[in-house]
């Protein structure tokens, strides 16, 4: 098989050498043919897949790489679909990008192609957060949009997120229909470009102000902010787009004592101060936390390169900073919003929150405690946006929602996770907690006493390249054929297979349907409520294992003891699944 793939890759590479491609690209291909056949195969053995959310891949020459040709062909396919959907209309699109290498180049190329297709194009004049692109689509009544970003992926990657008219990443049926149109583009010669430059309008700081003012409308505790406006906050954009708007939003809310990590304010797609620009990792947050310790900060905040994800670190009683995981962030923000909605008289039984199926079930407990409805959806904010869309035109009000992978969204004027608004609300929540005599960390512990101590873990198994993709697929096949019977000594009583859309009661053998879209996800649930979810990543060469456990917490002073018990339980399950 490897030989067949090598031969296929070589054939496709030679087609590029004979085609309408630039000299630099051809030089690179000739180099790979002569010097690195393995890399040549990886670069050409398949076409970079335009998936249900767009493109994401390593940058370089080849059909399986992010470059102006793969980006251009994807954009032409999207353009053709838009022309089918909106016949006779002046199609409007918005385009944004982050700080990654080649992001501006790709964004300007996308704008050129959309203009070449006769569209009205709104292009941000420089990098911006992904959520502002989502906001722009709705605010400017666009039919579609594109964000050039690979989110928190390593520096070698870039990507291309396609959005629909509601500001959400595309969902069914548009996702598959766009893919079909993209697959019809067989040659770069089919790309329309170089015309109608006058159709491109640049969006500048005046548009930023509209977005920041809408974020300010989410504020629920102005009095607490005014009282503790000088609460010390440290923020890092991790060399990304957040530097443009997160400090400005915090200032807009009224916070006056915010410092940034200057070395990481520098826009640089190589992310020189971190191994990975992912706020989920403590090593990535190291410089910000160290500055927080030096400056005696009460809150440390971070966003990833396109500023849709948020990282939060808070001091414990010893002054050591605890990096909250995405589940804890989601729980805290949901609790804060629900409680303040209740205290300000806004709850009337017509409110709801949303989380993904791999996110902590503690969020359901929070919602129940305030009489707020809660919904589960597949992993990805486009599914959260889809639930919001389904309630448009009804009395039901969306409060907030999120996912374990450090994404949160309050309000519905954006339809993607929003690190800018999440940072401002996290700071406001800290000020509010301070007004009732608690830190955010103390508030979280008290919630564990009241609702149960829920703890989560995550293992990502990385398998790169052709062999890795096959290995990940086989792992899912094996789990379906031989699911675990016990986890940490507890019997597995329920298996949920979101691909077959069936829930199996292990004891009786009976199945019931799952009323959520199909997805390659498995969940194993034990009699004591432990949940293990398994899913291949849709954007990275990984298979992910999510662990969720819970025990009662009798009192705050028992926190360390119960925390240790839960850690040991998660570690044992990793062993049970041969992950360590």
Does position 542 have pLDDT exceeding 50, yes or no?
yes
| CB contact at 8 A, 405 and 535 | no
**Is the bond preceding 173 in cis, omega lying within 30 degrees of 0?**
yes
Does position 47 have pLDDT exceeding 80, yes or no?
yes
Lowest mean pLDDT among 275-284, 409-418, 532-541, 554-563: 532-541
pLDDT in tens, 90-100: 999 999 999 99
Query: In the chain, what are the domain boundaries?
Result: 46-203, 211-451, 453-576
d(CA 365, CA 162): 34
Fold of 453-576: TATA-Binding Protein (3.30.310)
The pLDDT value given to residue 2: 56
Query: Do 211-451 and 46-203 fall under one CATH topology?
Result: yes
d(CA 178, CA 80): 9
pLDDT in tens, 187-214: 999 999 999 999 999 999 999 999 999 9
Q: What is the residue-averaged pLDDT of the chain?
A: 96
Q: Please state the CATH superfamily assignment of the domain spanning residues 46-203 in this structure.
A: Alpha-D-Glucose-1,6-Bisphosphate, subunit A, domain 3 (3.40.120.10)
| CB contact at 8 A, 131 and 308 | yes
Fold of 211-451: Alpha-D-Glucose-1,6-Bisphosphate; Chain A, domain 3 (3.40.120)
The pLDDT value given to residue 172: 87
pLDDT in tens, 467-490: 888 999 999 999 999 999 999 999
Does position 538 have pLDDT exceeding 80, yes or no?
no
Instruction: Look at the block and give the residue holding tokens 């450090």.
Output: 406
Is residue 575 classed as helix, strand or coil in its secondary structure? Answer: helix
Give the predicted TM-score (pTM) of the model. 0.95
The pLDDT value given to residue 392: 95
d(CA 279, CA 234): 14
| CB contact at 8 A, 215 and 409 | no
3-state secondary structure 294-362: HCCCCEEEEECCCCCEEEEEEECCCCCEEECCHHHHHHHHHHHHHHHHHHCCCCCCCEEEEEECCCCCH
Q: Which residues, in sequence order, are CB contacts of 494 under 8 Å at separation 6+?
A: 503, 504, 505, 506, 523, 524, 525
- Is residue 580 very low, low, confident or very high in pLDDT (cuts 50, 70, 90)? confident
d(CA 49, CA 560): 46
pLDDT in tens, 19-43: 999 999 999 999 999 999 999 999 9
pLDDT in tens, 334-346: 999 999 999 999 9
The pLDDT value given to residue 1: 47
The pLDDT value given to residue 33: 96
**Any idea which residues carry the catalytic annotation?**
151
Cβ count within 10 A of residue 469: 14
């Amino acid at each position: 098989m490897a030989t067949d793939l090598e031969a296929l890759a070589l054939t496709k590479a030679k087609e590029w050498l004979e085609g309408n491609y630039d000299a630099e690209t051809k030089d690179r291909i000739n180099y790979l043919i002569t010097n690195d056949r393995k890399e040549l195969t990886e670069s050409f053995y398949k076409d970079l897949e335009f998936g249900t959310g767009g493109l994401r891949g390593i940058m370089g020459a080849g059909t399986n790489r992010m470059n102006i040709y793969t980006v251009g062909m994807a954009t032409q396919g999207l353009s053709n679909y838009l022309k089918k959907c909106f016949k006779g209309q002046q199609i409007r699109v918005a385009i944004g990008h982050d700080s990654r290498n080649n992001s501006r180049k790709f964004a300007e190329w996308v704008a050129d192609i959309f203009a070449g297709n006769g569209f009205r194009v709104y292009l941000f004049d420089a990098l911006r957060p992904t959520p502002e692109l989502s906001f722009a689509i709705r605010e400017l009544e666009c039919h579609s949009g594109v964000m050039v970003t690979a989110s928190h992926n390593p520096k070698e990657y870039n990507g291309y997120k396609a959005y629909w008219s509601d500001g959400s990443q595309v969902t069914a049926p548009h996702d598959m229909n766009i893919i079909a149109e993209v697959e019809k583009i067989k040659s770069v010669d089919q790309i329309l470009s170089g015309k109608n430059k006058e159709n491109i309008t640049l969006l500048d700081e005046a548009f930023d102000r509209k977005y920041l003012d809408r974020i300010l409308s989410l504020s629920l505790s102005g009095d607490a902010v005014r009282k503790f406006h000088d609460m010390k906050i440290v923020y890092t954009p991790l060399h990304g787009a957040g530097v443009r708007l997160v400090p400005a939003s915090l200032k807009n809310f009224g916070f006056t004592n915010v410092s940034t990590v200057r070395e990481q304010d520098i826009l640089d797609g190589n992310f020189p101060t971190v191994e990975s620009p992912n706020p989920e990792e403590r090593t990535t947050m190291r410089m910000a936390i160290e500055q927080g310790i030096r400056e005696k900060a009460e809150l440390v905040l971070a966003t990833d390169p396109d500023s849709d994800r948020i990282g939060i670190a808070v001091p414990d009683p010893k002054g050591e900073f605890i990096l909250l995981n995405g589940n804890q962030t989601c729980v805290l923000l949901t609790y804060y919003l629900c409680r303040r909605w209740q205290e300000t008289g806004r709850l009337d039984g017509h409110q709801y929150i949303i989380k993904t199926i791999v996110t902590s079930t503690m969020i359901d407990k929070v919602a129940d405690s305030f009489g707020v409805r809660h919904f589960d959806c597949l992993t990805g904010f486009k599914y959260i946006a889809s639930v919001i869309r389904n309630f448009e035109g009804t009395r039901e009000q969306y409060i907030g929602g999120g996912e374990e992978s450090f994404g949160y969204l309050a309000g519905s004027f954006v339809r993607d996770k929003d690190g800018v608004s999440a940072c401002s609300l996290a700071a406001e929540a800290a000020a509010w907690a301070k007004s009732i005599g608690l830190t955010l960390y103390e508030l979280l512990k008290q919630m564990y006493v009241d609702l149960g101590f829920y703890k989560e873990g995550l293992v990502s198994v990385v398998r790169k390249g052709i062999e890795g993709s096959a290995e990940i697929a086989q792992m899912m096949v094996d789990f379906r054929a031989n699911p675990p019977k016990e986890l940490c000594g507890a019997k597995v009583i329920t298996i949920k297979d979101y691909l077959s859309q069936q829930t199996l009661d292990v004891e009786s053998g009976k199945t019931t349907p799952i009323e959520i879209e199909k997805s390659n996800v498995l969940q194993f649930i034990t009699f004591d409520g432990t949940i293990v979810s398994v899913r291949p990543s849709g954007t990275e060469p990984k298979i992910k294992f999510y662990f969720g456990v819970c025990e009662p917490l009798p009192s705050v002073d028992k926190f360390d003891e119960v925390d240790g018990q839960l850690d040991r339980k998660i570690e044992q399950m990793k062993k049970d699944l041969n992950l360590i």
